[in-house]
Amino acid sequence: MQVSRHGGPEELILGEHPDPVPGPGEVLVRNSWIGVNYVDLQHRAGRPYPVELPLIPGTEAAGFVTEVGDGVDPGLAGAAVVHFGHLRGVYAELTAVPAEFVVPLPAGVALDDAAAVAMNGTTAYVLTGMACQIGPGDVVVVHAAAGATGGAVVQLAAAAGAEVIALASTAAKAGAAVALGARHGLALEQVGDPVAAVLSVTGGRGADVVYDANGRDTFGMSLDMLATFGTLVLYGQSSGPVEPFGPGRLSGITGEGRGAGSLTLRWVAASHYLAGQPDRAAAVSAVLGQVGAGRLSPRIAERYPLGRAAEAHTRLASRSVAGKILLQVGSDGVGVSRQDWAVEREVGGANG
């Protein structure tokens, strides 16, 4: 699926290209399941920043290594892997991936589950265990708490012993976040003033940490939800970039906001924390361990054939999906024949 000009979902065009050839330090992966993320929509639209075109988008997938380039361990050939973080070339049957972005999967891990948690699960792991070390007694607010990443943050923060306050657009989504482990589920369609609602359930104190991937539209309220010494963690800007502001806003003494002070603002990009293959492998191992222990669910909400990626983008943009959207290559998807799929299933065994 290629984007030749920035625009809406209709700019995702199905086409054929010669099979990529892995260069030095690369592996060729036959993708089985591809995760759909908001950054894919931003790259397609060219907002809030343009990307080089033409673009085969995508940020994560799971599949099988079919070929390795020079300098790569030949033992990876045939291995079930997940790859994520390299930001292009993924919405395809075959992707040539730098080996540093590839993590072999243990036996027994389903490829669809791996694709569902590669970006969202490791991002939540970074947010709750590295950028901020969430623990018992912490009060944590999570925006978009029923989404793929927000839901993962809810689960990992709750598993760490935090009191989680989940913000979601609808009562159904707020209920879903409570089912994931949130102590409180606040539906924006019902509460009226989200800041007042958070202060009410915290006895006027506010939150120790607020996780916000929306950016511009929720930035001010996120700051106002914080307790003194609290931290606002921005990890996305789905509503657009935050407007410039004076750092005195964090002091609590300028008259802005509700008065909580000595606040910390952090921008967190998981890629900075997971800068090399060992870091990514450790994060994937930790996340899969949480999945195996029942503390984190992959929460696959919908599946689409690769050729219907435009529909998947439309659904994700609607903000009506609670969980992860995946694209399937092969079988009922696009690219791999049924015979090839059957062979891959046999070779992959439990990993498939």
Handedness of CA 52, 57, 62, 68 (dihedral sign): negative
**pLDDT tens, per residue, the chain with 352 residues:** 999 999 999 999 999 999 999 999 999 999 999 999 999 999 999 988 889 999 999 999 999 999 999 999 999 999 999 999 998 899 999 999 999 999 999 999 999 999 999 999 999 999 999 999 999 999 999 999 999 999 999 999 999 999 999 999 999 999 999 999 999 999 999 998 999 999 999 999 999 999 999 999 999 999 999 999 999 999 998 888 899 999 999 999 988 888 899 999 999 999 999 999 999 999 999 999 999 999 999 999 999 999 999 999 999 999 889 899 999 998 645 554 333 433 343 433 333 3
DSSP track, 292-348? HTTS----EEEEEEGGGHHHHHHHHHTT---SEEEEE-STTSSSS-HHHHHHHHHHH
Residue 37 confidence (pLDDT): 95
Distance, C-alpha 134 to centroid of its chain: 19
So what's the pLDDT on residue 257?
Answer: 81
Nearest to 226 by CA among 195, 266, 268: 195
pLDDT score, position 352: 36
Q: Tell me, what's the pLDDT at 346?
A: 40
186: burial class by Cβ within 10 Å (0-12, 13-18, 19+)? buried
Domains identified in the chain and CATH numbers? 2-119+274-351 (3.90.180.10), 123-270 (3.40.50.720)
